[in-house]
Chain A
Amino acid sequence: MLIKIAKPSDLRESDVTPESVYLSRRRFMGGMAGLGAGLALSGRAKASADYSDVPDGDAPAWLQAKLGAARPRAIVPDDPEKDAIAPFGDASGYNNFYEFGTGKSDPARHADGLETQPWSVVIDGEVNNGGRFNLEDFASPSHFEERIYRLRCVEAWSMVIPWLGISLADVIKRAEPTSKARYVRFETLVDPEQMPGQRSSFSLIDWPYVEGLRLDEAMQPLTLLALGMYGRELPNQNGAPLRLVVPWKYGFKSIKSIVRISLVEEQPVNSWQRIAPEEYGFYANVNPEVDHPRWSQATERRLPNSLFNPNTLDTRMFNGYADEVAELYAGMDLRKHF
């Protein structure tokens, strides 16, 4: 007998959209498409009107059109009050991107000159359909969505950010992995001319920055390849033109400015694990019960905060995405595989 236990994320009859709403959605989409085209012509690509204070980017026309046509708010936090979107200036002015320096404002200061057009991505390794693709050919076959995710940094701060992008699973399916493919390995651009952090002789990172996912993690529908945020394309300092976003893992897993995606047999050694294996593991799942050797992971400072309110929240298992991803790690000792 087949016993089917509904997962919390399974759809129910009541979730089915009534036809009238569906049809009006089509009308809405038609309107949006026209609006999108209009916005594209005026040099804007905003997925929703909420980002009126966000400065315009300089995306190529194809990307503006894709971003403009993205399904708005496809995934949103369950408590939008508590998980309020961080101001664009904070999300784009305060982050880690060691290729541009180790200070939180270094990326915004030094990433301006990064040349992201043209950009190509190599897909190689255990795939039947690999090769070097220009960004448009790489991304435009996929459906674009806006997803609002919590981003939890391993340094115990977090922000809520509206990304625009495509599902990594979609890209991997198109590449047709062979039966040997078990992991996905990602590489960031190496270009010391454009990336001052890569010129530092005191850097502990062995460039290129490398990250990896298990194939099932990469295929998890939440895993996003972002090309935009806040209704526009990614600012350079946030990993333009293509970055990973894995919302249930610490931020350093979400590798930026990707130039290579390889399907591989062996578990890749990610950059932070290489520097300090006792501090950073391969999985790096957000876990309030497993502390970093130098600080607690039980809580996080939700940014922006203010002087007398550090805005400290309890960190949630898998950053609050346990319903979707916990089953990936069933039976694993997460203290060992941190």
Chain B
Amino acid sequence: MTAQRKWQLWRTGVFLAALAPLVLWSGQVASNAAGPEPGRYLLLNIGLGGLWMLLLTLSLTPLTKLTRWKGFALIRRQLGLWTLAYASLHLLSYALFILGLDWAMLGSELIERPYILVGLLALIGLVALGATSNRWSMRRLGKRWKPLHKLSYPILGLILLHFFWGVRADLGEWTLYATASALIMATRLPPVARRLPRLRQRLISA
């Protein structure tokens, strides 16, 4: 197998794995296994799936530093776009299944549930990143591309706030995601980031 073919397979595998939860949840809705509120079931699962996608995307850089495996860098754009796809589907589920396309209700919902605005802001950020994720934009933006794409950090913060605001009585699940986020972000602190390649050396020699 040529190297190119190998990477092609890897990317396709990642694509199918990222698609699988959506297929699974749709199947559960279709077979009436998603409970009495299937729209909300999709909404919440897809939203959480989007957070997973963003956390996975942001894990790729530290993983690359730690392992120097080329595969991680190769799926970064794809996972970033999956984050955007999940976030968009999350909003679409809200509009279709919760609002029932009742736009008059949207106005009052936005005022009464400020966390929806926070989520919307995060989605707008993701759209900006998705729109500039192609090679042409990278060339055009040049040096500005990288700082622009560091917007993914504040976007993660907005998503965690969006999630936190909806919690009613138990912060356990949220705390898990917030901790994972903090760990992933900590690998970007210069002192930690510098040590990652050294940690790799130690792991290899051990």
Residues of A at the B interface (CB closer than 8 Å) are 86-87, 90, 93-94, 98, 101-102, 104-105, 155, 157, 159, 197, 200-205, 275, 291-296, 298-299, 301, 303-310, 312
Q: B37 touching A303 by the CB < 8 A rule?
A: yes
Q: B36 touching A296 by the CB < 8 A rule?
A: no
Partner of A308, one of B96, B109, B113, B115: B96
Residues of A within 8 A of B38 (CB): 305-307
A205 to B39, CA, bound (A): 28
Q: A204 touching B37 by the CB < 8 A rule?
A: no
Nearest B residue to A303 via CB reads B36
Residues of B within 8 A of A202 (CB): 170-172, 175
Q: How would you classify the secondary structure of chain B's contact residues: helix, strand, loop or mixed?
A: helix
A204 to B167, CA, bound (A): 10
B29, CB-defined interface residue at 8 Å: yes
Q: A98 touching B112 by the CB < 8 A rule?
A: no
> Which residues in chain B, 33-67, are within 8 Å of chain A measured between CB atoms?
35-39, 42
Query: With contacts defined as CB atoms under 8 Å apart, how many contacts are there between chain A and chain B in the complex?
Result: 86
Residues of A within 8 A of B35 (CB): 90, 93-94, 104-105
Residues of B within 8 A of A309 (CB): 100
B7, CB-defined interface residue at 8 Å: no
Residues of A within 8 A of B2 (CB): none
B205, CB-defined interface residue at 8 Å: no
Residues of A within 8 A of B172 (CB): 102, 200-203
B196, CB-defined interface residue at 8 Å: no
Q: B170 touching A310 by the CB < 8 A rule?
A: no
Counting chain A CB atoms within 10 Å of each CB, the highest count among B39, B100, B165, B170 belongs to: B170
Q: With A90-B36, A305-B36 in contact, do A98 and B98 touch (Cβ < 8 Å)?
A: no
| Shortest Cβ gap from B203 to chain A (Å) | 33
Q: B112 touching A294 by the CB < 8 A rule?
A: yes
Partner of B115, one of A87, A294, A312: A294
B4, CB-defined interface residue at 8 Å: no
Q: A157 touching B112 by the CB < 8 A rule?
A: no
Residues of A within 8 A of B171 (CB): 202, 204
Q: B36 touching A98 by the CB < 8 A rule?
A: no
Residues of B at the A interface (CB closer than 8 Å) are 29, 35-39, 42, 96-100, 102, 105, 108-109, 112-115, 165-166, 168-173, 175
Q: A304 touching B170 by the CB < 8 A rule?
A: no
| Shortest Cβ gap from B169 to chain A (Å) | 5
Q: With A202-B175, A295-B109, A295-B113 in contact, do A307 and B39 touch (Cβ < 8 Å)?
A: yes
Q: With A203-B169, A205-B169, A294-B112 given, can you name 8 additional A-B contacts, CB distance below 8 Å?
A: A93-B36, A98-B170, A155-B168, A197-B170, A291-B112, A304-B36, A305-B37, A307-B38
Q: B37 touching A304 by the CB < 8 A rule?
A: yes
Q: With A202-B175, A294-B112, A308-B97 in contact, do A102 and B37 touch (Cβ < 8 Å)?
A: no
Q: A86 touching B29 by the CB < 8 A rule?
A: no
| Shortest Cβ gap from A253 to chain B (Å) | 15
A105 to B172, CA, bound (A): 16
Residues of A within 8 A of B113 (CB): 294-295
Partner of A307, one of B29, B169, B170: B29
Counting chain A CB atoms within 10 Å of each CB, the highest count among B97, B105, B109, B168 belongs to: B168
Q: A310 touching B169 by the CB < 8 A rule?
A: no
| Shortest Cβ gap from A303 to chain B (Å) | 4
Name 16 interchain pairs, CB-CB below 8 A, sorted by A.
A93-B36, A102-B168, A104-B37, A201-B172, A203-B170, A203-B172, A204-B171, A294-B112, A294-B114, A296-B108, A296-B109, A296-B112, A303-B37, A305-B36, A307-B42, A310-B97
Nearest B residue to A101 via CB reads B170
A87 to B96, CA, bound (A): 24
A101 to B169, CA, bound (A): 10
A64 to B203, CA, bound (A): 65
Residues of B within 8 A of A299 (CB): 105
Nearest B residue to A93 via CB reads B35
Q: B36 touching A204 by the CB < 8 A rule?
A: no
| Shortest Cβ gap from A275 to chain B (Å) | 7
Residues of B within 8 A of A93 (CB): 35-36
